Each structure stands twice: as C-alpha cells, then as structure tokens.
Amino acid sequence: MIHYECRLYKVLLYIFLEEKIEDITLLMSVFVFDVVLMGRSAHLQQFSTPGKEDEKIAFEMLERMGILYLKDEIYTEISGGERQQAVIARAIVQQPELILFDEPTNHLDYGNQLRMVHKIKNLSKKDYTVIMTTHMPDHAMMIGGKTAILGRDGTLKVGKTEEIITEKKLEELYQVKTRIVYIPEVGRKVCVVAEQ
C-alpha cells in the first residue's frame, strides 16, 4: 500500500491550498524548510529519512520560489500567502508528472497572484502537466495553452484558451458584460468588466 501511494505521488499531485485547522496544528513548530522537505517523502524508502540530496533539492526550490528567507521560520507563523508558496514548493520537490492546482491564487495579494501565475506558467513549460482551477479569466489567459469552462448548465467546453475565453462565453458564465482588450504595452489580451 505505501509503495503504491509513493508511486502515485510521483505521478499526480493535487494541491488544495485551504488547510484545515487540524492539519495546521500538526505543523505548529515545523520550519518552512521542513515542510518543503516533506515533499521528498514520495522518493524515500519506508522508514528512511531525507538525505543530503533531498535537502539540496528543497533548498534550491525555496530559492527558485523566492522564499528562501522563510526557511527558518515556523510554518504556522508566516502569512497565508507565504504558506501557499511553501505548499507549492513542497509539491514541486515531489517531482510529480501532473500537478492539479485548486485556485492557487486564492487569498494572495495582487503581486503574489501574478508571481504565482508566472510560476505555474513556467512549470507548464517544463516537464510538468499542470491543471489549474481559477475564477479569474486573466490568469488563464496569462498561462495560455488549453482552457476548460464549466458552464452554468453543467456543460464543459475545452479548447485553446483564446478560443474558449471569449466575451460572449464570459458574459454567459458570470452574467456581466466583459471586454477582452489587447494592451500593446504588456503584449497580451486582458479581460475587463465593461459594466456592472
């Protein structure tokens, strides 16, 4: 059973960023570095502990995520946005083939939302298949690739992002008028509310 679960974690990782209180109490006095290092457990034999290579991978991921400064902080004492970034770093050091992100920008300030979307986009360009749920059309447009929209009637439309995210479909989905506008200064299309 344990070996099967480890193989599964090497292939698929689901990141649900809303933590339950009981999950947090288990991490009351754990350093951020150790939380990230826990992601390496899928690569360990039963009853073994992480080695130097695992520690190096966790350290490098904290650095790549831009949160190395948090490594010696207590996980429960950092902000919610910082915890989200630590959880995502833990997921990436697990090195799965497929990562499912469930609203990864939820509760993040604007700057961290953009940084998170860029990190996810970069992951999708590497050796990972990334699936992300979001209520923000701009985030899907920034990442590109393929997009699926689940309509109010339960129908699922899947295709290229630029073909799926249209003003008409967004109006049907959110019941507000939107405009998709190309902004030359940023070199991409953005979604804006046309009226309330």
Nearest in space to 14 (alpha carbons), one of 96, 134, 118: 96
Which pLDDT score is estimated for 1? 34
- Of 32, 41, 82, nearest to 59 by C-alpha is 32
Per-residue pLDDT at 84: 83
Q: Structure pTM?
A: 0.75
DSSP assigned state of 85:
H
- Residue 62 pLDDT: 95
3-state class of 165 per DSSP?
A: coil
Q: What is the pLDDT of residue 167?
A: 93
Residue 15, phi then psi, degrees to nearest 5: -110, 110
Residue ranges of alpha helices (H) inside the chain are 2-11, 21-25, 32-37, 52-65, 80-93, 110-125, 137-143, 161-164, 167-174
Averaged pLDDT, groups of 10, the chain, 196 residues long: 43 53 60 93 85 95 93 90 86 86 85 88 84 92 92 91 93 91 92 80
